[in-house]
Amino acid sequence: MKYLLCFLFFFLFFYPSVRCLKEDPDIKRDVTQMITSKGYPCELLTVTTEDDFYLGLHNMPNPGKPPVILWHGIAQNAASWTCNFPGEDLIYFLYDAGFDVYLGNSRGNNYSMSSKLYNPKKDPKDFFNNCYIDYMTKYDLPATVDYILEKTGFEKIAYVGHSQGTIINFAALASNPDYASKINFFAALAPAVFLKHTNSSLIRLVEEFVDNNNIFDLFDLFHTYNLDINNPVLKIVMSYLCKLLPTACDSIFWMVAGYDPKHLNITRNPVYVAHLDSLPLRDMKMLDQWTHTGRFQMFDFGNDQDNYIHYGQNTPPLYQLSNIIPGKAPKMMIFYGGNDLLADPYDVEHYLLPRLNPDLFWEKPIFISDYSHADFLWAQNAKDLIYKKIVNALLQLDFGKVNNYF
């Protein structure tokens, strides 16, 4: 209670000062509004998965042009690709270069909070216990890709993922050959596929609680199955806090995945924070399991009997990256950073890359020594270090053009 009172005192004391600060309009805009306010087209579509979840899909329509889909990371949504401006965000470069751009949304985030079978308010346990990596892999990606290919008439699509957006695509490529045959290019930004050496303070904190108190049992006791980071009140408070104390925002990002403000436009911090999204606890629990096992595996239900019911074996199956075969899977570009606390470079170099056939690489994986997890999305120099490489690779792949856009 004393912490709550301290927080209320802090907020009420500083609120008059914060109100005087000009609020960035992107804080309260949704994805469509953020894009159209910059002079680009955008529409929100709906994809229905095989298990009857309804996913929001944002499209910057460029009819007749090759499709590209971008997929966000954990506790985020499609807005993670829209928080800066034309000339900075990858989506605008792709659109201007002549691509039909789509932004996916995983089940359980603000744009995919609906299901035919479960109501997230009335049936939160059933709804959010179906919102985790395995089901995003099995249902969300195939349904979204098939929807786009049917809509556009193209046979293949390019894929760009960040963080968990890389996890689910690697998992789908490894476990679903039909899906793999429909992806012609994969750019993996900050691939957090192996987490044995992660130094994310948030994940290590969860790990500590799990080891000593089993925090997930505690959440279950209180019927909590999702951390509602998207709560409107919390978003307002966090945005005001970022405006008044920018270092507080720095601490939030650092705690999750590492943070170095030198590459970012820190005036956009309130926008970045405002568009964080919900975090299903089963999804978080699955990532925590990986920190213990060091394995790229399906969800562990905690006992042999339940695992056998789900998998036909006592232990969760691995996502076998050796199943991603050159000629039957996309060419890849991999970007990872030296200051990334979540996708630790040791895990990328010693666990992920050795398990991938070198013939899959479009070019040698690119290491950016001073990049943290958020830089791949929002760094001011990402255009030169990452985005132009992706756009030019796609131009060469789809149009036979070489290095002619930037």
**CATH code for the part of the protein at 17-399:** 3.40.50.1820
Where residue 22 falls among pLDDT bands split at 50, 70, 90? low
Mean pLDDT over 54-62 rounds to: 99
163, 189 Cβ separation under 8 angstroms: yes
Residue of 71 and 254 predicted with greater confidence: 71
DSSP code per residue over 80-139? GGSSS-TTTSHHHHHHHTT-EEEE---TTSTTS-EESS--TTTSHHHHHTT-SHHHIIII
Nearest-angstrom CA–CA distance, 243 and 208: 32
The pLDDT value given to residue 404: 64
The 10s digit of each residue's pLDDT in 130-181 is 999 999 999 999 999 999 999 999 999 999 999 999 999 999 999 999 999 9
Residue of 228 and 151 predicted with greater confidence: 151
The 10s digit of each residue's pLDDT in 66-121 is 999 999 999 899 999 999 999 999 999 999 999 999 999 999 999 999 999 999 99
Q: Are strands 279-280 and 331-337 parallel, antiparallel or unpaired?
A: unpaired
Where residue 208 falls among pLDDT bands split at 50, 70, 90? low
Where residue 5 falls among pLDDT bands split at 50, 70, 90? very low
Where residue 203 falls among pLDDT bands split at 50, 70, 90? low
350, 196 Cβ separation under 8 angstroms: no
Where residue 202 falls among pLDDT bands split at 50, 70, 90? low
Q: Which amino acid is at 254?
A: W
Q: Which two tokens stand for residue 162?
A: 């960040």
The 10s digit of each residue's pLDDT in 331-340 is 999 999 999 9
397, 158 Cβ separation under 8 angstroms: yes
Burial of 218 (0-12, 13-18, 19+ CB in 10 A): exposed
DSSP code per residue over 269-285? HHHHHHT---EEHHHHH
The pLDDT value given to residue 78: 99
Residue of 259 and 37 predicted with greater confidence: 37
Q: Are strands 53-60 and 67-71 parallel, antiparallel or unpaired?
A: unpaired
CB atoms within 10 A of CB 209: 14
Residues annotated catalytic, as ranges: 163, 340, 373
Q: Which two tokens stand for residue 15?
A: 């609120």
Number of residues that make up the chain: 406
pTM for the whole structure: 0.90
The pLDDT value given to residue 243: 67
Q: At what angle do helices 141-152 and 164-175 cross, to 10 degrees?
A: 80
With CA atoms as reference, report the closest residue to 99 among 137, 148, 47: 148
